[in-house]
Structure 1
């Protein structure tokens, strides 16, 4: 089962080493020095011809239209104990302002307490924000979150906050998704790709008082497409 990308600190996992999945190739990727990570996206001629390819080894996402890359971006994949599923899928659900049904907050008056949904005993439950949700398998999807340089998620595929809206716009219901250990694009497109720096994935969560409101969901402040 997939869990939210930016889990409250009481449920964050310990850092998982690269050796856990044999991801030695990730060491060669360039890292963005500041939290200005971004990847250009290009408008497709036809959304019906767009397909998504994910390399678990490179932790990269390739959005393709034929042989043309529309978006090449880093992702964060599942840990060995909570792996990202492999295989061929299709996007079947998209929610721009998605909230977790598993982890979130109990709100009672002015008190906001991180909690598992199954542990709710009173108050109002508000799920943890998972913006730009693109689901390809039950409880597994792409969404905005912290993109660590090692496997860190519970199976979902996290995308940087500057990239997630672009990916959301490039997919539709029915978009094919192939997830494999490697992809042919690893040696070409993936070889020159960059990853977000530690300023991104070590940044603290916004205050809980923000996470339970609509302010947790921010619209892009730049055009989505480079063309």
Structure 2
């Protein structure tokens, strides 16, 4: 095709061709890597047969994993979790569920918002210094499917996180689906054993 063009038009034509791939690349949107989702498994048959009085929970901080067991110590739910950071570690030991709520709103971790416009003035109240900004009100962050383990405020609840990271101030963050199943089968008094350590985890504050 190039040899059919007059000689004085060949150079401009080649320049146009050389620019076409670059233009195509400029117009193409950069690909966004897919976020890794937490891994979990729910045995639907065992869950359907599980009575709350027979349920128990075990949490391994070293593996960042939580299991819901039946009376025969067979795992009904296995899920990745995200526990407390090194500056606010999750406590270990034997606990019992002290409180069960469909949703809890934190009285410690929240934001200051303007009620009329819903504008967030301060996102992280616990890092805010000075008085509350005028014209704002405090709103605690939502913690769905809440299971309290200590009265000072450590609990198990649904929370977003990236697998492998430590994200909380001491609570156990879980994916939504397995936490709903665990919450439904737990009751006040359900035993919870937390063991292991995340002290060697690379996540700092």
Bucket of the pairwise TM-score, normalised by the shorter protein: 0.5 to 0.7
Q: How many residues align?
A: 151
Indicate the residue corresponding to 2:98 in structure 1.
Answer: 92
Q: CA deviation at 1:105?
A: 2.4
SS of 1:169 mapped into structure 2: helix
Indicate the residue corresponding to 1:101 in structure 2.
Answer: 107
Q: CA deviation at 1:98?
A: 1.2
Q: What runs of 5+ residues in structure 2 fail to find an aligned partner?
A: 1-33, 198-205
Q: Does residue 183 of structure 2 align to residue 135 of structure 1? A: no
SS of 2:176 mapped into structure 1: coil
Q: CA deviation at 1:52?
A: 0.4
Q: 1:178 aligns with which of 193, 198, 201?
A: 193
| Structure with greater Cα Rg | 2
CA RMSD of aligned residues (A): 2.4
The TM-score with structure 1 as length reference comes to 0.60
SS of 1:163 mapped into structure 2: helix
Q: Does residue 55 of structure 2 align to residue 55 of structure 1? A: no
Indicate the residue corresponding to 2:12 in structure 1.
Answer: none
CA deviations over 1:12-56 (Å, ceiling 9, x no partner): xxxxxxxxxxxxxxxxxxxx9754855314234421111101101
Task: Give distance in 1, aligned partners of 2:38 and 2:88.
Answer: 29
Indicate the residue corresponding to 1:116 in structure 2.
Answer: 125
Task: Give distance in 2, aligned partners of 1:40 and 1:89.
Answer: 23
The TM-score with structure 2 as length reference comes to 0.66
Compare relative contact order (CA 8 Å, sep 6+) and give the higher one, 1 or 2.
Answer: 1
Q: Does residue 169 of structure 2 align to residue 163 of structure 1? A: no
SS of 2:141 mapped into structure 1: strand
SS of 1:162 mapped into structure 2: helix
Q: Does residue 89 of structure 2 align to residue 83 of structure 1? A: yes
Indicate the residue corresponding to 2:8 in structure 1.
Answer: none
Q: CA deviation at 1:177?
A: 0.3
Task: Give distance in 2, aligned partners of 1:147 and 1:178.
Answer: 22
CA deviations over 1:92-121 (Å, ceiling 9, x no partner): 111112111112222222132224168534
CA deviations over 1:70-102 (Å, ceiling 9, x no partner): 111111111222110000000011111211111
SS of 1:83 mapped into structure 2: coil
